[in-house]
C-alpha cells in the first residue's frame, strides 16, 4: 500500500468506525428491509434480493458490501417476516459479517392504508485487523491493536403505507450488545426517516420520488433525494443526490414479473473524487406472488 493511500485510509478509519458504521445503498428504494424491519409488510409476496456494492473503485482498500435479504407474508395474515445476511469489508482491516431476522405486524387504519410495526434481532462477527495497515504501527501504537468480537443487536421500525405512498422511521440497530466489553469501536444508533410517493401519468409512465434522511449522533445529517421514472412497466430510470457525498444514477429492468435487475453508479462529489473512480452497485431481485393483488411499486 502506497504512503498516500495508507495516510488516507488511516484518516478515514475513525469515520468508518463511528459515524459510518452501516453500509450505504444507492438502491435503498428497492431493498427497504435493510433500513426498516417494518418494510416486510409492504408487499404480499415472497421477495428475495441480492445486492453487491463496490465503493470508490480504484482506491485500494475501499469498502465493499454484499447483502442478501428476503421477506414474505405469513400465510394470509397481517404478519410478515424477513431475514438479512450481510458482509461489509474495508480492505483487510475491517470485516463485519452479520445475520438478522425480523417480524412485522400491520393494521389497516384507513381504506387500503396500513401502519406496520417491525422488530429485528441479529448477530455479527466483527474483526478489525489494524495490523494489516502497518506492522510497525501495530507494534508501536496500542490504538492499532486488533479487535475480534461477537456482537448482537435489536432494531425497531414503523411504516405507514398504501399503494400510492410510504413513510417510515426506524433504528435498524437500536441497541447493541458486545461480547468483548473492552472493544474501542464506539456504537451509535442510526436513525433513518424515509418516504416515497407514486404519481401515475398513465399506463406507460409513472413517477416515484423518494427521500431518505440518516442521523447519527456525532456525524452530519445525511440526506438522499431520489427521483425515478417507470417506463412501460418495465424500465426504471432515476438519479439521486446524496449530501456531502455523491450524485447517483440508477437503472432497473423488469425482465419478467418475477425477476428484476438493477445497477447504480455513484459519481463522488467529495474530495475523495481525486483518488477513486466512483462506486458501482448491482442488484438482483426475485418476487413470487402467492396471492392475487396489485403490483407493489415500493
Looking at per-residue confidence, does 188 or 32 come out higher?
32
Q: Is the confidence at residue 8, as pLDDT, over 70?
A: no
Q: Which of 60, 103, 65, 87 is nearest to 280 (CA)?
A: 65
The arrangement of secondary structure in 3-288, i.e. its CATH architecture, is Beta Barrel (2.40)
* 96-126: pLDDT as tens digits: 999 999 999 999 999 999 999 999 999 999 8
Degrees to nearest 5, angle at CA 57 with 51 and 61: 95
Instruction: Write down the pLDDT at residue 50.
Output: 97
User: DSSP labels for 91-141?
Assistant: TTTEEEEEEEEEEEEEEEEETTEEEEEEEEEEEEEEEE-GGGT-HHHHHH-
* 188-235: pLDDT as tens digits: 788 999 999 999 998 899 999 999 999 988 888 999 999 999 999 999
Mean pLDDT of 124-141: 67
Measuring CA to CA, how many Å separate 192 from each of 29, 211, 224, 232, 250?
A: 13, 10, 11, 32, 21
Q: Note the residue count of the chain.
A: 298
Instruction: Write down the pLDDT at residue 2.
Output: 45
* Cβ 107 vs Cβ 118: under 8 Å: no
Largest CA distance in the chain: 66
Nearest-angstrom CA–CA distance, 154 and 2: 40
* Cβ 177 vs Cβ 187: under 8 Å: no
**Could you state, in order of their start, the residue ranges of all structural domains in the chain?**
3-288
* 258-288: pLDDT as tens digits: 999 999 999 988 777 777 788 999 999 999 8
* Cβ 47 vs Cβ 286: under 8 Å: yes
* 42-94: pLDDT as tens digits: 998 999 999 999 988 877 778 899 999 999 999 888 999 999 999 998 877 88
Amino acid at each position: 500500500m502506497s504512503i498516500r493511500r495508507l495516510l488516507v485510509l488511516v484518516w478515514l478509519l475513525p469515520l468508518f468506525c463511528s459515524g459510518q458504521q452501516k453500509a450505504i445503498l444507492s438502491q435503498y428504494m428497492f431493498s427497504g428491509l435493510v433500513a426498516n424491519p417494518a418494510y416486510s409488510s409492504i408487499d404480499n409476496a415472497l421477495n428475495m434480493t441480492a445486492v453487491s456494492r463496490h465503493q470508490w473503485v480504484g482506491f485500494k482498500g475501499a469498502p465493499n458490501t454484499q447483502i442478501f435479504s428476503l421477506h414474505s407474508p405469513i400465510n394470509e395474515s397481517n404478519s410478515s417476516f424477513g431475514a438479512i445476511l450481510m458482509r461489509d469489508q474495508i480492505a483487510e482491516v475491517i470485516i463485519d459479517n452479520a445475520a438478522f431476522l425480523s417480524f412485522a405486524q400491520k393494521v389497516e387504519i384507513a381504506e387500503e392504508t396500513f401502519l406496520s410495526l417491525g422488530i429485528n434481532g441479529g448477530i455479527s462477527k466483527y474483526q478489525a485487523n489494524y495490523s494489516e495497515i502497518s506492522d510497525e504501527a501495530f507494534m508501536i501504537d496500542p490504538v492499532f491493536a486488533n479487535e475480534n468480537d461477537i456482537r448482537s443487536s435489536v432494531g425497531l421500525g414503523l411504516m405507514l403505507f398504501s399503494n400510492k405512498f410510504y413513510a417510515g422511521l426506524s433504528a435498524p440497530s437500536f441497541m447493541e450488545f458486545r461480547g468483548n466489553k473492552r472493544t474501542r469501536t464506539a456504537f451509535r444508533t442510526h436513525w433513518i426517516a424515509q418516504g416515497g410517493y407514486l404519481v401515475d401519468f398513465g399506463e406507460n409512465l409513472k413517477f416515484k420520488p423518494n427521500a431518505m434522511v440518516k442521523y447519527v449522533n456525532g456525524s452530519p445529517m445525511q440526506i438522499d433525494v431520489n427521483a425515478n421514472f417507470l417506463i412501460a412497466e418495465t424500465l426504471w430510470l432515476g438519479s439521486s443526490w446524496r449530501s456531502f457525498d455523491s450524485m447517483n444514477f440508477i437503472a432497473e429492468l423488469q425482465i419478467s414479473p418475477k425477476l428484476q435487475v438493477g445497477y447504480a453508479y455513484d459519481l463522488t462529489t467529495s474530495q475523495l473524487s481525486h483518488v477513486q473512480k466512483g462506486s458501482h452497485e448491482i442488484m438482483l431481485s426475485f418476487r413470487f406472488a402467492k396471492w392475487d393483488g396489485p403490483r407493489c411499486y415500493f
